[in-house]
Amino acid sequence: MWRDPSRGNQNFQVRYTMSEGWGDPIQINRRPGSKMSFSKYEKEQLTESIGILTVAFTLALSDGLAPVMSRPEILFNTLPLAFGAVMTGFLLHELAHKWMAQQYGCWAEYRGNRNGLLFALLMSSFGFLLAAPGAVMVSGRITERQNGIIAAVGPISNIIIALIAFPIYIFTVGLESPVSLIGELARFIVIINLILGGFNMIPIQPLDGSKIIVWSKYAYFGIIAAIFAVANLYWTISPLS
C-alpha cells in the first residue's frame, strides 16, 4: 500500500470491500497515473450502468412496461427525462466521489452492481424504481475527515446541479415547444437531484450520510439543511408547485 508523502496525517485506511455482483476488484497496487483517470474496465462499468439505469428510469416514468408496449410514443417524453436524471443525479454524483478521492491520493474506480441494476430494471417494468446501481470504490490511507469529505461531495454535487437547473426551469416554463421541453427537463433534474441527494444522506451504510456523520455532525446537518433550503425554494417559487 503506497502513501502520498505530500499529504499529512494519513492514518485512516479505507478499503471498501465488494460483494457478489460488483464486478472485478479495484486495483490497489498502483497509483493513478493522472487525476480523473479511467481504466478500460471502469469505462465499461459506467457505460453499462448508465444504459441500464436510463432504461429503468424510462420505464418507471412511463408507469411500467405495459404502457410502453401499448403506446411506444410516450418514450419521446420519458427518455430525455430519464437520461438527464442518470447523467446528473447518478454519473456526476459518482464522478465527484472519484475526483475527491484522487485528490487525496487514493485509487478510486467505479464498479457497477450487476444484481442491483437488474433488480432496478425488473422493478421499473412495474412502474416504480428501486436502484442500487453501484459505487466508486476507494482504497488508500486517509484521515477520517478526508473520508467524510469524499462522501460529502456526492450529495453536494446534487445540490449544485439542482441550483444550476432551477433558474433554467424558471426562465423557460410556460414557453412554447421546444423550449418548454428544456424547462421540463430542468425541472425534473432539480427534483431528482434533491431526492437522490437527500436519499444518500440517510446515515446508514453504505450511503454517504453514514460516513459524513462520523466525520462531522455539523457538516452532515449542514448538507441536510441545504437540501431542504433548495427544496423549499423550489416549492415556493416554482410556477407548477
For residue 177, the 8-state DSSP code is T
Are residues 138 and 165 located together in one domain of the fold? no
Are residues 103 and 163 located together in one domain of the fold? no
Say what the pTM is.
0.81
Last residue of a domain, one of 142, 170, 193: 142
Closest to 158 (Cα-Cα) out of 66, 79, 223: 223
Q: How many domains does the chain have?
A: 2
Query: Which tens digit of pLDDT belongs to each residue from 79-122?
Result: 988 999 899 989 999 999 999 999 998 889 999 988 889 998 89
> Is the pLDDT confidence value at 6 over 80?
no
Q: Would you call the peptide bond into 206 cis, given omega within 30 degrees of 0 as the criterion? A: yes
Are residues 27 and 99 located together in one domain of the fold? yes
Query: Which tens digit of pLDDT belongs to each residue from 160-183?
Result: 999 999 999 988 877 676 767 888
d(CA 172, CA 240): 12
Question: 176 lies in which domain range?
Answer: 155-241
Other Cβ atoms within 10 Å of 35 Cβ, number? 9
Average pLDDT, the chain: 84
Question: Residue 136, SS3?
Answer: strand
Last residue of a domain, one of 142, 177, 200: 142
- 26 occurs within a structural domain: yes
- 216 occurs within a structural domain: yes
